[in-house]
C-alpha cells in the first residue's frame, strides 16, 4: 500500500543533510510553509542553499532559518522587503550569497528541472545585468537568453488538502511556487491542513498529482505572517 503520510514533521525531514538545496514555497506569507521551515531549523542541517521567491519576512519562515545561521546561499527573485532585515544584515555582512533571478525565470527554471528539460531560451533579462555571461541566441528576430534548470534535494510546500498518494490541492494565491517546486525536488514534503481519503479530492480538482509528492504531513492552520 502506498502511504506518503508521515506522522510528524521531524520524521518527514529527518534525512536532510548539510549542504542540501531546499526549495521553499510561498510568495511573501501566502504559501510559506512556516511549520516545515521551523522543523528544518530544529532538524539542524546547515550550509543550505535556499530556493524561494523571497528571502524571508519578519521573524518567521525563511527569516528564522536565516537568523539561525543555516543558510549559505539564497536563490530568489525579490529579497528586499520592508521586513527582510535578517537577510539584509547577513547579505551586507557577506555571510549569505545571493543569486538573483527574474521571477518568471525562477518559476520556469524550477519547472524545467521538474519536467526533465535541460534549460530554455527566454527574452526576459536580455541586455541586463542578470543575463551577463549567459549564452544568447536570436530567434525569430528577437534576442533570447539561455537559462538552466534549478533542481533541489527537498521542496517544502504548503498545500491545503492531501491524501496518502500525495495528491494535493492549494488555497487561492498560496499555490504560487508549490506545484513546480514539488516537481523539481528529489523529495517533496507537503504540509496540508487536512488529510482526506483517496478519491475525496475530485480527480478534476487535483492540482498536484501525487507522483510529484513524496511526503505529506498534517499541520493545523498556521497563523500567517501579516
Which residues contact other proteins (rule: CB under 8 A)?
A: 27-31, 53, 77-81, 87-88, 91-92, 98, 100-108, 110-111, 122-130, 143, 170-180, 207, 224-226
Q: CB of residue 13 vs other proteins: minimum separation in angstroms?
A: 23
Here the cell at position 73 is 546561499
Closer Cβ to other proteins, 82 or 197, answer by number: 82
Minimal distance, residue 91 CB to other proteins, in Å: 6
Q: Which CB sits closer to other proteins, 123 or 134?
A: 123
What is the closest distance, in whole angstroms, from the C-beta atom of residue 86 to other proteins in the complex? 12
Closer to other proteins by Cβ: residue 16 or 191: 191
Q: Which is nearer to other proteins, 31 or 162 (CB)?
A: 31
Minimal distance in Å, beta carbon 92 to other proteins?
7
Closest to other proteins by CB, 8 or 128: 128
- Minimum CB separation of residue 43 from other proteins in Å reads 26
CA angle 186, 191, 197 (to 5 degrees): 100
Amino acid at each position: 500500500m502506498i502511504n506518503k503520510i508521515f506522522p510528524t514533521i521531524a520524521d518527514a525531514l529527518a534525512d536532510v543533510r548539510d549542504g542540501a538545496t531546499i526549495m521553499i514555497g510561498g510568495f511573501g506569507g501566502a504559501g510559506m510553509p512556516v511549520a516545515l521551515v521551523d522543523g528544518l531549523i530544529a532538524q539542524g542541517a546547515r550550509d543550505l542553499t535556499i530556493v524561494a521567491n523571497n528571502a524571508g519576512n519578519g521573524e518567521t519562515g525563511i527569516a528564522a532559518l536565516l537568523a539561525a545561521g543555516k543558510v549559505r546561499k539564497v536563490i530568489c527573485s525579490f529579497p528586499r522587503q520592508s521586513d527582510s532585515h535578517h537577510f539584509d544584515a547577513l547579505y551586507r555582512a557577506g555571510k549569505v550569497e545571493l543569486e538573483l533571478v527574474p521571477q518568471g525565470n525562477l518559476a520556469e527554471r524550477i519547472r524545467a528541472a521538474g519536467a526533465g528539460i535541460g534549460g530554455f531560451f527566454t527574452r526576459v533579462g536580455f541586455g541586463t545585468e542578470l543575463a551577463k555571461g549567459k549564452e544568447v541566441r536570436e530567434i525569430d528576430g528577437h534576442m533570447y537568453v539561455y537559462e538552466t534548470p534549478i533542481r533541489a534535494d527537498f521542496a517544502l510546500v504548503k498545500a491545503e488538502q492531501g491524501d496518502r498518494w500525495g495528491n494535493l490541492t492549494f488555497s487561492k494565491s498560496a499555490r504560487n511556487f508549490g506545484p513546480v517546486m514539488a516537481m523539481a525536488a528529489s523529495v517533496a514534503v507537503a504540509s496540508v491542513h487536512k488529510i482526506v481519503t483517496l478519491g475525496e479530492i475530485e480527480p478534476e480538482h487535483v492540482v498536484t498529482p501525487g507522483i510529484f509528492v513524496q511526503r505529506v504531513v498534517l499541520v493545523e492552520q498556521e497563523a500567517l505572517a501579516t
